[in-house]
Amino acid sequence: MEETIQFKLNGKQTKLTVDGERKLLWVLRTDLETTGPKYGCGEGICGACTVLIDGTAARSCQTSVKEVKGRDVVTIEGLAAEGALHPLQKAFMEHDGFQCGYCTSGMILTAYSFLKQVPHATHDQIIQGMDDNLCRCGAHKRIAAAIEKAAKEMSLSDPVGERSDVK
Amino acid sequence: MKFQMEHGANSVNEKFKVQNLTSLQNSDPESQIPNLEMEQGAGGNTENPEFDFHLNRRQFIKVAGGGIFLFFTIGDLPAFGQQRGERRSLPNDFNAFLRIGENGRVSLYTGKIEMGQGVHTSLGQMLAEELDVPLDSVDMVMGDTELCPWDMGTWGSMSTRFFGPPLRLAGAKARRAMIELASEHLNTSPENLTVEDGVVYEKSNKKNHVSYAELAKGKKIEREPKGQVSLKKPSEFKIIGKSFARRDGEVKVTGKAKYAGDIQIPGMMYAKILRPPAHGAKLLDVDVSEAQKMRGVQVVRDGDFVAVLHRYPDVAATALSKIKAKFDSPKTGVDDKTIFDHLLNEATEGRVTTHGGDLQSGQQGSKTIFDQTYLNDYVAHAPMEPHTATAHIEGNKLTVWASTQNPFGVQGEVAKELGMSSENVRVITPFVGGGFGGKSRNQQASEAARLAKLSGKPVQVAWTREEEFFYDSFRPAAIVKIKSGITENGRMNLWDYHVYYAGERGAEQFYTIPNHRTTSYGGNAHPFATGAWRAPGNNTNTFARESQIDMMAAKAGIDPLEFRLQHLDNEKVKRVLKAAAEQFGWTPAKGPSGRGFGIACGLDAGATVATMAEVAVNKNTGEVQVKRVVCAQDMGLVINPEGATIQVEGCITMGLGYALTEGLHFKDGKILDTNFDTYELPRFSWLPKIETVLIEDKNSDPQGGGEPAIITMGGVIANAIYNAVGVRLFHLPMTPERVLDALKG
Ligand code: FES
Ligand code: FES
């Protein structure tokens, strides 16, 4: 059933009339032309479609758009606050935390959410925390290294990489 | 043949910045061409009917705006145009080119594509080195059939290997051309000049200088410098051999990188296509009435090809689920258990590929004979990005954005499908979300083009994960039978090797065995499509060969490293084995030692690789944890050590999958694996400690890097499992069930 749904997308209020049962992934990618979240499996297995909802990682292929009513949705496009790359993004670049890059937005946002919960995560904790995100290119080692680096940096400066528009 | 960037296509490009094309303009016809040299053969291209690069050089120059153009040729390379039965001839005077723009930026136009392997960076490095410009002033224009010269496709670890040397030469020639231009400008002879970071200086008077940008300004110059140029010596390298972070980093971490599914065109429809439940199934009856009732849904039917279109992909999927279809599915009796008998029955006659000594005397002279069969399941490519294409028809022109490893293949296939001439088809390759060989098939592009034509609208076809599994061209299931023997003294004396369906890549054995023969059997008995998968065939061959060698070493009571070294004349293999052993800290012990140490080596794509691994086997569950992997690889000249290391790590990580879990389940043409729940990919928690040792040979050409290390993963883990628990696994993947079965004996 069509309804009007309002939420914050990457810091901007967004309103659209849409069947609330539709999955957030497709509404973001098509209706809202925000293509950072990717389709990888459609069943919640791979994590390519990960977005932040109120700062916590969620699989947008499993989330109905009506569930985000009034909430704060951040995709990879919204992670760089005012154009400055987030420490995770920088660390992914420095450590080559990707190859084809298709899993990357899901990896970064999952890591963001994870580090928020476990700010001083160790290597082993990161491996566990990221285990449900798939990467076919085998970039795992670099991804883990990037997250470790970012974890260190974030705990030095800003405990959880907190941003004003991501609560 | 006239190049026209039509309005629509142009605006799409601008909107999505699909490639770095913004510097191309189609105006500027009045530009002066002050120093145009047309070489013999220019324009002759169009007379070759097989040559369908749209622009000859004169046309290209006309449309591409100002700057200096350098056309060059990838030499007479046997690997090009000869694989996969492709017999297209390359243009006879150039097939790649670069442009130095008025802003000093250098654009390299190549039909190669970037799918994660990093050629974006390594090709740029080679060019920047020889041309003496900073790496970040090089732009790559890749995989666009309208702008780039024809290319066979990106696979086989060939981009750096075969494209690299001529590219360096082109860079060197371009540098020479710039020096010649500068010498007119600076009023001194070329011998007095040198280049640094894109600026030509007089050696004795550094104040007298001119930049590439200044030289290019307001000009349209076409050059193909005459005379000899020499490449830089390794000692002169400033960019080659240095590690650079990937150049596509920023767009990939910010979500700006566009993949085929991210292309949106006004009025575009997403298509979902009715699929058979099994390969070989026939459509008997279809009822689309329920789907048709949905608002905004367009049903398209052309014979058995039935699709629903909607402006949202998820709504199209819902509409598809409302179609009622009856299929007649064949009962072939072939499934993932019976497949090996089936394949053996259907195999063609063998072809002896190498032979030496005498097998009979080898057998007679051997004290112990080992007769063993190795099996390998079908493996899926499973790139994270499924096959996707967006097709847009404007007038008689079709543009396709495709996730593909061979844009020119797409161009031909799509043109054929629609009965168009391929010069009216433009294929643009955005970033590709992994390929591994699987995206050299492009069914989705033909589907999108067909639907765009039938519906009269731009159409995107993005396969679901289930479709991706169904239509994959799997790495073939394969069988290797080896009969080998050792003498009383533990010398290998017999090697009779039969490989079925894995092909010859990696089948030739490189050990010193006096009596040997290698026979390859093929055939077309697979129940679905098969094709090349990262280092095709070599994974199977290396698993079988290295397991068999290990078995003989154990029987002979000799440490498996020592046993290999005793039977090797190949210096490169010896060198990588020793390098791996040193890094690993290998100490000799005959197998099985209980330590869980394994070893395997092999040759692939011109590279030589040796891998050592440590595993732990859980005897209760059959689970194998790979704790540490050391890989030593000799790959000739290393362009980007960091990039090469990353490729090795990717191979090792991806290789854990085919070694431990990846094997396709199917029955009667039905693919039972439809997603990653049953078809398990390697995960973070599987990640061993990975150590890579690159053995560089600066004076040899660069060799393949995207594939070689993966070939050893099945063998090294099998050997490590044996070393840990004393049982051998002869069937890949080595799933917990198979490990438990082996432990039970
Ligand atoms: S696409 Fe959502 S988890 Fe895979
Ligand atoms: S980088 Fe390709 S899937 Fe992760």
- d(C-alpha A52, C-alpha A37), whole Å: 10
In ligand 1, the atom with minimum distance to the C-alpha of A41 is 4
Count Cβ neighbours within 10 Å for each residue of B548-560 and write b for 16 or more, e otherwise: bbbbbbbbbebbb
Interface test with B, best of A94, A136, A148 (most B CBs within 10 A): A136
B393 lies in the same domain as B505:
no
Answer yes or no: do B601 and B738 share one domain.
Answer: yes
Nearest to A79 by CA among A59, A102, A50: A50
Answer whether B253 sits within 8 Å of A35, measured CB to CB.
no
Structure tokens of A29? Answer: 């990618």
Specify the higher pLDDT residue, B717 or B161: B717
Q: Please give the structure tokens belonging to residue B221.
A: 């110059």
For the beta carbon of residue B164, count every other beta carbon within 10 angstroms: 25
pLDDT at site B145: 85
What is the predicted pLDDT for the residue at B154? Answer: 62
Query: Taking CB atoms and an 8 Å cutoff, what residues of chain A touch B433?
Result: 38, 100-102
pLDDT tens track for B465-524: 999 999 999 999 999 999 999 999 999 999 999 999 998 888 888 999 999 999 999 888
CA–CA dist A66, B13 (Å, integer): 33
pLDDT of residue B22: 25
Rounded to the nearest whole angstrom, what is the distance from the C-alpha of residue A143 to the centroid of ligand 2?
10
Using a CB-CB cut-off of 8 Å, the residues of chain B touching A127 are 684-685, 687
Among candidate residues B436, B462, B488, the one where a domain is terminated: B462
Q: Tell me if B664 sits within 8 A of A153, measured CB to CB.
A: no
| A134 CA: nearest ligand 1 atom | 4
Best of B142, B384, B656 to disrupt the A interface (most A CBs within 10 Å) is B384
Average pLDDT over all residues of chain B = 85
Minimal-distance CA residue of chain B relative to A140: B684
Who wins on pLDDT, B118 or B426?
A: B426
Task: Indicate if B422 and B557 belong to the same structural domain.
Answer: no
Which residues of chain A are within 8 Å of residue B316 when distances are taken between CB atoms?
none
ipTM associated with this complex: 0.94
Do residues A59 and A44 make contact, with C-beta atoms less than 8 angstroms apart? yes
User: In terms of pLDDT, which residue wins out, B136 or B10?
Assistant: B136
Q: How far apart are CA B252 and CA A92, in angstroms?
A: 9
- For B24-79, the DSSP string reads --S--TT---TT--PPTTTTGGGG-TT---S--HHHHHHHS-SEEEEEE-----TT
C-beta separation of B727 from B744 below 8 A? no
Residues of A in contact with B245 (CB under 8 A): 93-94, 96
The enclosing domain of B700 has a CATH number of: 3.30.365.10
B433 CA: distance to closest CA in chain A (Å) = 5
**pLDDT greater than 60 at residue B527:** yes
CA distances from A123 to B668, B681, B691 (A): 45, 21, 17
pLDDT band at A82 (very low <50, low <70, confident <90, very high): confident
B445 lies in a domain? yes
Q: What is the mean pLDDT of residues B6-26?
A: 28
A142 lines ligand 1 (CB under 6 A): no
Nearest CA to B559 out of B512, B582, B592, B584 is that of B592
- Say if A46 is an interface residue toward chain B (CB within 8 Å): yes
The pair phi, psi for residue B115, each rounded to 5°, is -125, 20
Greatest C-alpha distance within chain A: 48
Distance from CA of A97 to the nearest CA of B (A): 9
CB contact under 8 A, A33 and B248: no
Identify the CATH homologous superfamily for domain A2-78. Answer: Beta-grasp domain (3.10.20.30)
Q: Could you give the CA distance from residue A69 to residue A27 in angstroms, rounded to a whole number?
A: 13
Say yes or no: CB of residue A49 within 6 Å of ligand 1.
yes
End-to-end alpha carbon distance in chain A: 30
A and B: number of Cβ contacts within 8 A: 177
- CA dihedral angle for residue B509, residue B512, residue B514, residue B520, rounded to 10 degrees: 0
- Tokens (6 digits) for A65: 């758009």
Residue corresponding to tokens 């590219």: B167
Q: Does A45 touch chain B (CB under 8 A)?
A: yes
Under an 8 A CB cutoff, do A96 and B690 touch?
no
pLDDT-derived band at B91, boundaries 50, 70, 90: very low
Domain membership flag for residue B110: yes
Cis peptide leading into B78, omega within 30 of 0? no
Tell how many helices (H) and how many strands (E) occur in chain B. Answer: 19, 29
Using a CB–CB cutoff of 8 Å, tell me whether A110 touches chain B: no
Angstrom distance (rounded) from CA B137 to CA B108: 11
Q: Are B24 and B146 in contact (CB under 8 A)?
A: no
Domain end position, chosen among B224, B250, B276: B250
Phi and psi, residue B564, nearest 5°: -65, -50
Say yes or no: B286 and B362 in one domain: no
- Report the gap between the CA of A41 and the closest CA in chain B (Å): 5
When mean pLDDT is compared across B133-142, B235-244, B490-499, B701-710, the lowest value belongs to: B701-710
Domain containing B44 equals 9-173+214-250
What is the spatial distance between Cα B410 and Cα B417, in angstroms, rounded to a whole number?
A: 10
The mean pLDDT of B247-259, rounded to a whole number, is 93
Asked if the structure places residue B553 within a domain, the reply is yes
Tokens 């060989």 correspond to B437
Do B456 and B513 share a domain, yes or no? no
Half-sphere CA count of B205, side-chain side, radius 13 A: 7
The residues, ordered by sequence, that sit 6+ positions from B727 with a Cβ below 8 Å of its Cβ are B721, B739, B742, B743, B745
Nearest to residue A111, comparing CAs of A94, A93, A87, A95? A87
Q: How many CB atoms lie within 10 A of CB B191?
A: 9
Please give the distance, rounded to the nearest whole angstrom, from the Cα atom of residue B369 to the centre of ligand 1. 51
**B620 and B484 in one domain?**
yes
Percent over 70 (pLDDT), chain B: 85
State whether residue A118 sits within 8 Å of chain B by CB.
no
Whether B579 has a pLDDT exceeding 90, the answer reads yes
Cβ-contact A53, A9 below 8 angstroms: no
Pairwise pLDDT comparison (B718 vs B35), residue with the higher score = B718
- The reply to whether A33 touches chain B by the CB within 8 Å rule is yes
> Do residues B409 and B543 share a domain?
no
Cβ separation B684–A127 shorter than 8 A: yes
Q: Is the pLDDT of residue B713 over 90?
A: yes
Q: pLDDT category, B92, cuts 50, 70, 90?
A: very low
The tally of domains found in chain B comes to 3
Nearest CB to A100; choose among B115, B311, B653: B115
B569: confidence class by pLDDT, cuts 50, 70, 90:
very high
In a domain, B208, yes or no: no
Phi, psi values for residue B82, rounded to 5°: -115, -10
- Find out whether B163 and B126 touch, Cβ atoms under 8 Å: no
CA distance A70 to chain B (A): 23
**Cross-chain residue pair B431–A101, CB shorter than 8 Å:** yes
CATH number at residue B143: 3.30.365
A100, B206, B466, B739 from B382: Cα distances, Å: 13, 55, 10, 25
Q: Specify whether B233 is located in the same domain as B370.
A: no
- Examine the pLDDT at B141 and tell me if it is beyond 80: yes
Q: How far, CA to CA in Å, does B730 sit from each of A71, B309, B548, B559, B574?
A: 54, 48, 10, 21, 26
Of residues A137, A144, A140, the one with CA closest to residue B116: A137
Shared domain check, B371 and B405 = no
Percent with pLDDT over 90 in chain B: 64
B684–A104 CB contact, under 8 Å: no
Shared domain for B562 and B697, answered yes or no, is: yes
What was the pLDDT predicted at B224?
65
> How sure is the predictor about B160, in pLDDT bands with cuts at 50, 70 and 90?
low
Domain coordinates in residue numbering, chain A: 2-78, 87-156
Lowest mean pLDDT among A16-25, B8-17, B51-60, B320-329: B8-17
Spatial contact of B551 and B730, defined as CB atoms under 8 Å apart: no
Residue type at position B178: M
Does the C-beta of A135 come closer than 6 Å to ligand 2? yes
Any idea which ligand is nearest the CA of A28?
1
Contact B312 A31 (CB under 8 A): yes
Is the predicted pLDDT of residue B196 greater than 80, yes or no? yes
B203 is a domain residue: no
Q: Model's pTM, two decimal places?
A: 0.88
pLDDT for position B171: 87
Residue B182 lies in a domain: no
Considering B201, B230, B250, which residue would you say is the last residue of a domain? Answer: B250
The one-letter amino acid code at B563 reads F
| Cβ(A129)–Cβ(A120) below 8 Å | no
d(CA B334, CA B280): 12
Superfamily of domain A87-156: [2Fe-2S]-binding domain (1.10.150.120)
User: Which ligand is in closest contact with the Cα of A96?
Assistant: 2
* Per-residue pLDDT at B684: 98
Identify all chain B residues contacting A63, using CB atoms and an 8 Å cutoff: none
B63 vs B603, residue with greater confidence: B603
Nearest CA in chain B to A78: B254
Confidence band, pLDDT 50/70/90 cuts, at residue B255: very high
Q: Whose Cα sits closest to atom 3 in ligand 1?
A: A44
**Counting beta carbons within 10 angstroms of the beta carbon of residue B111, is it exposed (0 to 12), middle (13 to 18) or buried (19 or more)?**
buried
Contact criterion met (CB < 8 Å) for B382 and A136: yes
| pLDDT tens-place string over residues B689-698 | 999 999 988 7
B180: in domain: no
User: B596 CA to middle of ligand 1, Å?
Assistant: 36
Residue nearest to atom 4 of ligand 2 (CA): A135
Q: Is A47 in the pocket of ligand 1 (CB under 6 A)?
A: yes
Predicted confidence band at B464 (pLDDT cuts at 50, 70, 90)?
very high
In this structure, are residues B26 and B3 in contact, taking their beta carbons and an 8 Å threshold? yes
Pocket test for ligand 2, best of A41, A100, A109, A147 (most atoms within 8 A of CB): A100
Do B527 and B430 share a structural domain? no
Structure tokens at A111: 């890591």
pLDDT tens, residue by residue, B335-354: 999 999 999 999 999 999 99
Helix residue spans in B462-537 (DSSP H): 465-470
Assess whether B396 and B307 both reside in one domain: yes
- Answer whether residue B206 is part of any domain: no
Query: How many angstroms separate the CA atoms of B162 and B633, rounded?
Result: 19
